[in-house]
């Protein structure tokens, strides 16, 4: 086989040149035209595209597509059903959204979303609280009177009078005037005896709510000491002439009394320890 070289150009070999099919006339005349394929004189101006120019020229000349009568009736019926089915009040007109001048697409869509969310919220609130926002905007609102509860009003009235009296008492106590505590004695009234208190004060000694005082608690140690002192009263032990809970300072005692008190204290501690050990040993 011979060597295959580069194909030689012949008369049949022709170069395919780019050419606009919209141009009319001979191509040779178009090539000779020196004004073709030149840059525009004014860059800011832009020529209308050929297709757009064609549609602009033939606007309104095309026949409109006629809707099918059945489809047209169906569209109208759908709108009517949506507006009237199960509705007790007329439907609000849908807002028309138009993009403002110099408003970006993002801001326009955000505004549309805000308005739709507000419409949804008003519809939910009107269904939940049975409020007509259209009447609120127009100002045609009638307020219903609340049903008054006589028992509740009476309680509030009593509470108010009680607070008022208490406040007056506090003011009189601050001033030091006790004239409001004086009894009004009628003419001819005679008191045969002084007044008697039938109820004890809440924190009086002997009552359930009495305030605990030092030395008055019934401790187990006091009962043991009292029992031992009664047993050893004839054996020369220091007889306690003071009451239970009465305080006697050590510096007021004599040396013999101090010595006896120390012995008594040690003995009480030993008795307490014995009693504690006994309670711990007993099965619970």
Domains in the chain: boundaries: 105-138, 146-175
User: In the chain, what is the straight-line distance between the N-terminal and C-terminal CA atoms, in Å?
Assistant: 123
Quick one: pLDDT at residue 191? 84
- Is residue 239 a contact partner of residue 231, using CB atoms and an 8 Å limit? no
pLDDT of residue 238: 45
Residue 240 has what pLDDT? 46
Can you give the pLDDT at residue 254?
83
Per-residue pLDDT, 242? 59
pLDDT at 9: 66
Instruction: Report d(CA 103, CA 110) in Å as an integer.
Output: 11
pTM of the model: 0.24
Structure tokens at 235: 């054996």
What is the structure's pLDDT at 252? Answer: 77
Separation of alpha carbons 250 and 264, rounded Å? 14
Low-confidence ranges of the chain (pLDDT < 50): 236-240
Which residue intervals of 130-253 are DSSP H helices? 133-138, 150-175, 220-231
Q: How many CB atoms are closer than 10 A to CB 225?
A: 19
Q: Distance between CA atoms of 276 and 237, rounded to whole angstroms?
A: 25
d(CA 83, CA 21): 55
Cβ–Cβ < 8 Å for 222, 244:
yes
Give the max Cα distance, the chain.
163
* Helices (runs of H) and strands (runs of E) counted in the chain: 8, 0
């Amino acid at each position: 086989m011979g060597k295959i070289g580069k194909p030689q150009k012949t008369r049949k070999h022709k170069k395919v040149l780019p050419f606009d099919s919209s141009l009319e006339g001979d191509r040779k005349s178009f090539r000779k035209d020196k004004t073709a394929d030149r840059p525009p004189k004014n860059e800011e101006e832009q020529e209308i595209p050929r297709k757009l120019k064609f549609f602009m020229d033939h606007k309104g000349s095309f026949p409109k597509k006629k809707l099918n009568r059945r489809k047209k009736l169906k569209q109208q019926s759908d709108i009517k059903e949506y507006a009237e089915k199960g509705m007790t009040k007329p439907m609000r007109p849908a807002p028309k959204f138009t993009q403002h001048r110099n408003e970006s697409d993002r801001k326009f869509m955000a505004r549309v979303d805000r308005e739709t969310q507000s419409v949804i919220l008003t519809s939910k609130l009107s269904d939940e609280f049975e409020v007509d926002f259209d009447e609120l905007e127009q100002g045609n609102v009638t307020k219903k009177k609340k049903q008054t509860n006589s028992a509740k009003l009476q309680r509030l009235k009593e509470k108010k009078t009680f607070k008022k009296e208490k406040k007056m008492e506090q003011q009189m106590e601050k001033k030091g005037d006790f004239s409001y505590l004086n009894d009004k004695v009628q003419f001819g009234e005679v008191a045969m005896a002084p007044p008697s208190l039938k109820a004890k004060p809440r924190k009086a000694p002997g009552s359930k709510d009495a305030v605990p005082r030092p030395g008055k608690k019934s401790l187990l140690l006091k009962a043991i000491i009292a029992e031992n002192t009664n047993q050893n009263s004839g054996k020369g032990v220091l007889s306690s002439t003071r009451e239970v809970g009465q305080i006697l300072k050590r510096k007021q005692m004599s040396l013999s009394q101090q010595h006896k008190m120390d012995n008594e204290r040690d003995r009480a501690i030993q008795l307490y320890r014995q009693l504690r050990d006994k309670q711990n040993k007993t099965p619970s």
